Structure 1
Amino acid sequence: MVDFVHEALLYRDDEEYLAGTVPFVRDGIAAGEPVLVAVPQRGIDLLRHALGGRAEHVEFLDMRRAGRNPGRIIPGVLAAFTDNAATTGRVRIVGEPVWPERTELEYPACVQHEAMVNTAFEDRCAWMLCPYDTANLAPEALRDAEATHPFVVEGQRRRPSAGYREPFLIADEFNRPLPSPPPDALTRRFDLDALAVTRRLVAGFAVETGLSADQVEDLVLAVNELTTNSVVHGGGFGTLLLWREGGTVVCEVRDAGRIASPMVGRRNPGASARGGYGVMLVNLLCDLVRVHTHEDGTATRVYVG
């Protein structure tokens, strides 16, 4: 029987963090359930110490690295673990995608991620516990945690969330316009005949910025997927914008197409699907991906650096 549970754990300090996560992990190990802990490294260190020898039965991932791009978490962290878990039963996951140092630019994608988890895993047997630092997160982040998690855990109390909302409504609410690009952003229009030129332009710009060879390759591949999608699904042409933010290269692709579902790019669309792999690949390759789709088209902005 499918039994997906998605809970927010509200904690104020290390003691409450461990009181909520350690029994959850220990119970999973005792039941023979595969357990993933995907949290910032400090949380990993706390849990390893508290679990002692039991820690060897847990897979740990530093969420600041694995989930730096919130759009990567479902396909690259959560689904990757559940798909590879050697079990026909339930898996347990402690996942912390929202931490106090998340930027305003990253945050809307974080909330969309938490909402879409409820859709992506509705047919999977998984129990996810998502810690939220109530001492350091903004009040709106805690309200959003209630909106994206059907259940909330506070100390010894577990309750249904009074603020829980339908996932697609949350995702649409956080489909927000992107900050304006700088006035000196390099701007190029492209169509099918210009795709190769566009790839070379992006590669040269990334090299000049000082990205590593692997980063240049990832960025070029991501932009190629986006521009090809524009040609195939976005009216046959689009606009590319390029600029630097410190040592990071930012690329934005605009076209007349619309992304119908916020789940696009967040999970493997399956062998019978018509498209969807390209956006997922972009999420896996880039440090941050922000998408704004509206009546006149879609803007997808990627960050590598």
Structure 2
Amino acid sequence: MGTWIGHIAPGVFFVIFALWWHINNCLRYFRSLVHEHGEKSRAPTKFSGSTTYPCFCLSGKRARRLPIESIMKILITSIHFSIEIITGYDSKPRPHLGDENAHHTAMLFGFFLGSWIEVLVHYKVPLPKRITQVMGFLAFGIEGLMMVFHLHARSMIDAHIHQLLALTICCSMVGALGECFDPNNFWLIVARSFFALTQGTWFIQAAYVIWPKTTNPYFLWDPESHRSVSLLTMSYAYHLAGNAFVLIVVYLIVYMFSSTSTKLNIDLTKDVEARDQYKLICDTLEEENEL
């Protein structure tokens, strides 16, 4: 049960933070397209990316100015870290921590350290520029390193689950590295949200594959079957597609809320660069009618 929860809990947290980043990222993107009161002469607000976002839903200016997200990540990683130490400690034959628990603590420490750096940056401690993005890359790097060497003496299906998880983490590393060089790129932050969401949903999937909560043979996976590996890979592909769909839906919901309160400057028919890259269907039909 403890190991099952050990996969479900981080999965839920990854899902929550991925959606939180995506919602705030979309809000900032739409604000960057706004012209107040339709003033075309006024330049739109410049889009600004971030590794952490303020909680505007809280009441009171003082509460909204607190680094709530970073504090939550510190608390979550600290609690998880403590649970791993308590459940993995054994005094026989000598005091030690179980290998799997020790691996988990190493994975957690990168995110714990990165969250503290975010707090220091929030309170204007003079640290190097873009250090929060660098710490994000380091956190995913540590997680990926430990995940790759977390596969010894596991069944075929268990190892394949963790290999796919390691692949997702490597993609998160690439996105985080991109943010180090271009922190205000909307698509890099979308990539961070996407792969964090995929980590979350795949953690939850892994919990039910490795430790099923049913005796129904239709929901039990053969741990040493090549067919199970093939089906699990297909399942991972559906996770990728499904999570992309979720982020698109969230984007559209945020767009609807933003467009009802502000006037967005989104007009692809006047965007020369966009017209060069993509031929609008309406324009194509007009050309055919002229012919």
Fold in common (TM above 0.5) = no
TM-score by length of 2: 0.30
Please state which structure has a larger fraction of its residues in helix.
2
Larger relative contact order (Cα-Cα within 8 Å, sequence gap ≥ 6): 2
Please state which structure has a larger fraction of its residues in strand.
1
Rg (Cα) greater in structure: 2
